[in-house]
Amino acid sequence: MIVVVAPPARQGRTGGARQALVAVAQLRLMVLSLLFGAGMLVVIAKLALLALWAQPATARDINAGLIPPRGDIVDRNGAPLARTIDAWTIAIHPNQVIGDKAALAQKLAELIPDQTAARYQAILNSGSGFAFLKRRALPELVSAVNALGEPAIEFQREPDRLYPQSTMAAHVLGFIDSNGHGVAGMEKVLEKRLSDPALRSQPVALSIDARVQAAMESELGGAMNTFQARGAAGIVLDVRTGEVMAMVSLPTFNPNAIRGIPPRNNVTQSVYELGSTFKPLAVAGSIDAGLMPSMARRFDATHPLQVGRFRISDDPGDETFRWLTVPEVLIYSSNIATARIADEMGAARMQSLFQRLGFDQRAQIELGDGAKPLWPTYWARTTVMTTAYGHGIAVTPLHLANAYAAMVNGGTLRPATLLKVAPGKEVAGTRVMNEATSRRMRQMLRLIVLKGTGRMGEAKGYRLGGKTGTAEAASAGGYDKGRNVSTFAAAFPIDAPRYVVVAMLDSPQRTATVSRTTAAWTASPVVSRVVSRTGSILGVTPDNSRDIELGDLMPLLWAGPAGTKAAR
């Protein structure tokens, strides 16, 4: 029998190695435990800090994630004008494309014709890590691009600003930049309000009525196309609150697809010499100053008025070149008689009138980027005379609308606003003329539409009162006799004014059927159609049985043949 026994020394070496391994394992376990313990201490300390100083989560914090990152803008009746939606963005990783780049570029050009196939191929060959192919992509396009089967194409969802009415009220709304911040219009004005988590869940209501806005854009755009005008402007203003029911500037732009610099807002950012629309203001200033005690007073318009080297004249017509009563001065739009009235007022009174109406400063409205009027640097005698009929002083159409609102509402000038005013709220203003003067001017504005240059501006049943104005367009260093600015400013119903409507065309051209480019033929029909379409929407019921009382003025009008003068 053979017994094999391991040597004692060898047994010692094996046992020692095992003990060493156990010791290393224990050391490692101890280090791991210490690290784990330190980590737990950090977590406990962090929790303690949060418990001591952190604010508890509120329902508002929880709901903030469910609220769009930018609030909606709506019209006065709640119709959406600007809202934030989830949109698709199509992007690509050019350095990861695995297919035929030339073929892919061709297919992308067919599906997304924003760029050429050559441009798409350049993007694909750029070797960059990321490039946008299309933002604001429709779901149909996303499906079509996805069907190409290229793994390098990526589809993302991101918030996007949508203007569902497209170009409507574009100059009012403005637009946002690629970072989602407002850079123009009410988007810029309301930036803080629209992005406030505590407020953005509630839409902001503008004063604009989308139905009135659409009608004004339609009629003004049609006239601009018909007469091939360079530009146009229109506004509907509540004379009691200063609310802008419609503001139109043409040409316009699409805030959903901004390319380049959008055209300026002609209502607030462009100044014009608005011609004979100033004549009622000058007459109102004369009455208010006590210089016109009787409407029967006559002014000599028998011959042109020579003042130094300047000659002031009227267009010929059956009713011209005679002595005119005060109503006839406006009905026949006499430059000569208006200049004589202004001459009596003098520079101080004329400047004071225009300053009270705000013609020496930017018009007040939220947009804040309005143009400053061109105010005469020196008020010579001729300056006083010509500014009375709208030459030598340039203002925006908004200035004119504000002035007419004050002239017909009892004499109070209120700042215009693009924000909805709560029903029944009293809007403060500044008195700029007497109530008696306002009543008299309402009568004469009505006579201009019934008997004078504003006859084509009448809207049956709505009792308009207004004044046309046609002025030579300003050009470098003077005037362009081949172009004019045609304007009609009106109020309705004139027996109890609610709204002022202004329409202006810049440089209208003759057509095959209309041989004149004066305001009577170009701008006043626009106002007539706008009022006919929107009067009832604005709460004015047409009534052919009512009208303003004109009994004391009718005997002062010439009983001769109807005038043929083109409107100024």
Whether 270 is catalytic is no
Scan for tokens 């854009």, then name that residue.
217
pLDDT in tens, 94-148: 999 998 999 999 999 999 998 999 999 999 999 899 999 998 788 899 999 999 9
Cβ contacts of 360 within 8 Å, gap of 6 or more: 354, 373, 375
pLDDT band with cut points at 50, 70 and 90 for residue 566? very low
8 Å CB contact between 531 and 524? no
Question: What's the rounded mean pLDDT across residues 15-20?
Answer: 70
8 Å CB contact between 402 and 395? no
Cβ contacts of 10 within 8 Å, gap of 6 or more: none
H or E element: which one contains 468? Answer: strand 465-475
Q: For residue 218, give the nearest of 526, 524, 443, 12 by alpha carbon.
A: 526
* Strand ranges, E, within 313-464: 323-325, 412-413, 430-431
pLDDT band with cut points at 50, 70 and 90 for residue 369? confident
Question: Does the pLDDT value for residue 50 go beyond 60?
Answer: yes
Q: For residue 295, give the nearest of 331, 320, 335, 347 by alpha carbon.
A: 331
Give 39 or 203, the one with higher predicted confidence.
203
8 Å CB contact between 236 and 104? no
pTM across the whole model? 0.84
Buried b / exposed e over 310-337, threshold 16 CB at 10 Å, is: eebbbbebebbbbebbbbbbbbbbbbbb
- Give the count of alpha carbons within 13 A of 338, CB side only: 33
**CA-derived radius of gyration, the chain:** 36
Alpha-carbon dihedral 518, 524, 530, 534, rounded to 10 degrees:
170
With the C-alpha atoms ordered 434, 338, 403, 439, is the resulting torsion angle positive or negative? Answer: positive
Alpha helices, H only, 381-498: 381-387, 397-408, 435-451
Pairwise CA distance, residues 229 & 566, whole Å: 19
Lowest mean pLDDT among 178-187, 275-284, 382-391: 178-187
Query: For residue 398, what are its two tokens?
Result: 């908004």
8 Å CB contact between 231 and 248? no
- DSSP 8-class letter at 270: -
Phi/psi of residue 102, nearest 5 degrees: -65, -45
pLDDT band with cut points at 50, 70 and 90 for residue 559? confident
Scan for tokens 């004391």, then name that residue.
552
End-to-end CA distance of the chain: 142
With the C-alpha atoms ordered 110, 113, 115, 116, is the resulting torsion angle positive or negative? Answer: positive
Question: What's the rounded mean pLDDT across residues 484-501?
Answer: 98
pLDDT in tens, 62-81: 444 456 789 999 999 999 99
Pairwise CA distance, residues 393 & 274, whole Å: 8
What is residue 562's predicted lDDT score, i.e. its pLDDT? 46
What is residue 320's predicted lDDT score, i.e. its pLDDT? 58
What is residue 28's predicted lDDT score, i.e. its pLDDT? 77
Q: In 3-state terms, what secondary structure has residue 201?
A: coil
Query: For residue 397, what are its two tokens?
Result: 């159409």
- 230 CB burial (10 A radius; 0-12, 13-18, 19+): middle
What is residue 62's predicted lDDT score, i.e. its pLDDT? 45
pLDDT in tens, 388-417: 999 999 999 999 999 999 999 999 999 999
If you count DSSP H runs as helices and E runs as strands, how many of each does the chain have, helices first?
Answer: 17, 18
Of the residues 249, 270, 276, 507, only one is catalytic, namely 276
What is residue 499's predicted lDDT score, i.e. its pLDDT? 98
What is residue 475's predicted lDDT score, i.e. its pLDDT? 82
Question: Does the pLDDT value for residue 56 go beyond 70?
Answer: no
What is residue 157's predicted lDDT score, i.e. its pLDDT? 87
What residues does 86 pair with on adjacent strands?
A: 159
